[in-house]
Chain A
Amino acid sequence: MQPNSPFSPVERLRRLRETRLGSFVPVLLALAAIWLYFGIALPLWEFWGDQDATSIRFIFLSPRNIYNLFMQSAVIATLAVGITVVLLLGEIDLSAAATAGVCAALLGVLVLAGIPGWTACLIVMAVGVAMGAAQGLLIAYVGIPSFVVTLAGLLGYQGLMQKILPTGNLNISDPFVRAIARILVPDIWGLLLATLLVVAIAALALRRQAERKLRGLELDTATTLWGQVAFFAIIVFAAVLTMNAYRSVPLLIILLTGVTAIVGWVTTSTPFGRSIFAVGGNAESARRVGMNVKRIRVAAFGIVGLLAAIGGIFGASRYGSVSYTAFAGGSLLLESIGAAVIGGTSLFGGRGSVWNAILGALVIGSLGNGLDLSGASAADKLMFSGAILLLAVAIDALSRPAGNGQR
């Protein structure tokens, strides 16, 4: 199993993506390429091409823009995390954005009717779970392909959203709901939180290593161990410092990180999460070892519903309004699925991670943001997004294990 013969580039790619950190590499490269292009190459190009320019303006990489980028990508990221869970099962959810739309619209109507913001949020989350699980029941117990069920869900929920919002637009002024996107964590708290996180991760990694030694298991090399901690530390501190440089870390981003951490933990570190991967890898094997495949499917679709609802709440909070085009009728669905796939989660099931979905959302967000800044048209944006998505799926298809070609 250890590489002892020369591998083709495709084989190398496949092996790279099997490792924990390796799965981040393609999406990080994509992100770096986009940031380099819009952040450095494009401004330099414009500076040299323009005789009158007196200084280079690095707008894209300014803390202000990065801050906005994070905020813009938050809703996509939330939905992408949910969609990742069903992709892991080898299913798809086309209704996530419409579910988010219904939930956001419902939230607006509820708070308008005088229901306290937090109660409304809980109600909406329960509704989201029900909407997702209902589709899951049809998929698991009636046996309709998820593509068809959620396509019907997409249409039905779009209609439902229009019924709830006949005008197609509703302003939300509830202080609780608005606070989610408005509250900023003081700079010093942001840094403290980041430090705590990194220390906790390092401590956990060291404890694990000690336990491995105690039990006589093979040990991670020091490079792997500290590489992981350093990788994590760099990302956390870079994000916090950048956001502090413009304003501070918004509560929204912390909530998003928290939600992702919980979903990430459930999918990788619990028997339930293990069963999701098992079903995605080989549903018949999972069934034969006694896993309740149907219930797992329903639960996974319930989770997408929950995350769609949370995405709806985040969106409503950030925009201060709910509109049909911002959710159900717009590009949110394709951007979220794109984010999950660009993050490296396989469309064929059984491989991927919710953290990658966050990076994928940043890729999609950066692309849109950068093209906006450089004055590209909506048409250009669509074509670029399509090309990136295609590239991601091609990488996915190429890096599938050999001998697994048919499905």
Chain B
Amino acid sequence: MSLENNKQVGPAAPPPRLRVAGIEKRFGGVHALKGVDFEVARGEVMALVGDNGAGKSTLMKILAGALTSDEGDFFIDEKPVAISNPHDAGALGIQIVYQDLALCENLDVAANLSLGAEPVKSGWQFLPRILRPLDDLEMEVRAQTAIDRLQVRTLKSVRAKVGGLSGGQRQAIAIARAVGAECSVVMLDEPTAALGVAQTRQVLDVVKRLRDTDHAVVYISHNMRDIFEVSDRICILRHGANVATWKTSETTADEIVVAMTAGLDNGANNAA
């Protein structure tokens, strides 16, 4: 496979909103990430592809603060930052839809959408925040707004327990939780894996809308058609290491699949 130079995405690309460099992660004996570089700019959809076990979810969890990296540097708008827990990521405007959704089935939709950031009623300052009364009506209002924005028509009530919902509805709630929050970076880890055609279309529409509203979007999927429809760039991981980052308009699905499975023979290292 030959690579033309203009395929590579170099310094000409827009300055990234979020950039990480040299991310290392080991789980005991498993070297899951081997010095991975990654970036995503505002107004761009960066697809992240790789075989199962390539380290995509691990990278996303590190960016979301759910895992801590063993080594690596984080930059927001090229300023160094630290992401060591989910609060850090949230404060930096990073939101994630986990591959396993990370919902609490015993709680209702509204509670899940505010999980970890529950609004409390004002005027109880003498109590520590965690013991102030929850503003559950505000929670419902927020949930309703987030759900309405996503246009999940099948969801009848935000007071329904998540345990009783369908896979598609749960997926929608996980997405609503991420995009409902104040954020600039949204990462979606295989959001369409459990969805039918119509629901997948809705998710792709959400992704495009996020890009059009100047968010930085990371989109993980195994579906090449979807990736070529929504993404601007594609970052390929293999065995926990970067293979390449290409502009979507300048590559093909076949080329991506080969790079995902076999890597690049000529060792071209062209990660942006």
Contacts and interface: CB of A to CB of B under 8 A. Distances in A.
Interface of A: 1-2, 15, 18, 208, 211-212, 215-218, 266, 269-272, 274-275, 277-278, 280-282, 284-291, 349-351, 401, 404
B220 interface: no
B172 interface: no
- Ranked nearest first, the 8 interchain pairs of A and B with the lowest CB-CB distance are A289-B116, A281-B104, A350-B106, A290-B86, A401-B163, A281-B106, A285-B102, A272-B130
Interface residues of B, number: 43
B137 A215 contact: yes
A277 B107 contact: yes
A351 B164 CA distance: 14
A65 to B, nearest CB: 38
A327 to B, nearest CB: 30
A212 B136 CA distance: 10
Among A216, A274, A350, the most chain B Cβ lie within 10 Å of the Cβ of A274
Contacts of A284: 102
B105 A281 contact: yes
Given A212-B137, A290-B65, 5 more contacts: A1-B160, A1-B164, A215-B140, A282-B105, A289-B116
Interface string B57-98: 000010011100000000000000000011100100000001
A351 B98 CA distance: 24
Among A15, A211, A272, the most chain B Cβ lie within 10 Å of the Cβ of A272
Contacts of B65: 290
B115 interface: yes
Given A217-B140, A218-B159, A290-B87, A281 B107 contact: yes
A287 B66 contact: yes
Contacts of B264: none
A243 B85 CA distance: 54
B104 A277 contact: yes
Interface in B105-123: 105-107, 111, 115-118, 120
A1 B106 contact: no
Contacts of B102: 282, 284-285, 288-289
B201 interface: no
A211 B120 CA distance: 16
Contacts of A350: 104-107
A287 B169 CA distance: 23
Contacts of A269: 133-134, 136
Nearest to B161: A18
Among B66, B85, B115, B132, the most chain A Cβ lie within 10 Å of the Cβ of B115
Contacts of B169: 1
B144 interface: yes
24 contacts: A1-B155, A1-B156, A1-B165, A18-B161, A18-B164, A212-B137, A217-B141, A218-B159, A271-B131, A274-B107, A274-B118, A274-B134, A275-B130, A281-B107, A285-B102, A286-B115, A287-B66, A287-B86, A288-B66, A290-B87, A290-B90, A350-B107, A351-B106, A404-B163
Nearest to B143: A217
Contacts of A401: 105-106, 161, 163-164
A68 B126 CA distance: 40
Among A277, A280, A282, A284, the most chain B Cβ lie within 10 Å of the Cβ of A282
Contact of A290 (B103, B111, B116): B116
Query: Looking at chain B's contact residues, is the secondary structure mostly helix, strand, loop, or mixed?
Result: loop
Contact of B64 (A212, A216, A266, A288): A288
A351 B163 CA distance: 12
A115 to B, nearest CB: 30
A57 B102 CA distance: 58
Nearest to B120: A271
Contacts of A274: 107, 111, 115, 118, 134
A217 B139 CA distance: 11
B141 A215 contact: yes
A271 B115 contact: no
A278 B137 CA distance: 19
Among B117, B161, B165, the most chain A Cβ lie within 10 Å of the Cβ of B161
Given A1-B165, A271-B118, A290-B90, A280 B106 contact: yes
A271 B157 contact: no
A288 B86 contact: yes
Nearest to B167: A403
B7 interface: no
Contacts of A278: 104, 107, 115-116
Contacts of B107: 274, 277-278, 281, 350
A285 B103 contact: yes
B129 interface: yes
A277 B134 CA distance: 14
A177 to B, nearest CB: 29
A218 B159 CA distance: 9
Interface string B10-50: 00000000000000000000000000000000000000000
Contacts of A286: 104, 115-116
B157 A289 contact: no
Contacts of A212: 137
A185 B144 CA distance: 47
B104 A270 contact: no
Contact of A218 (B64, B157, B163, B164): B157
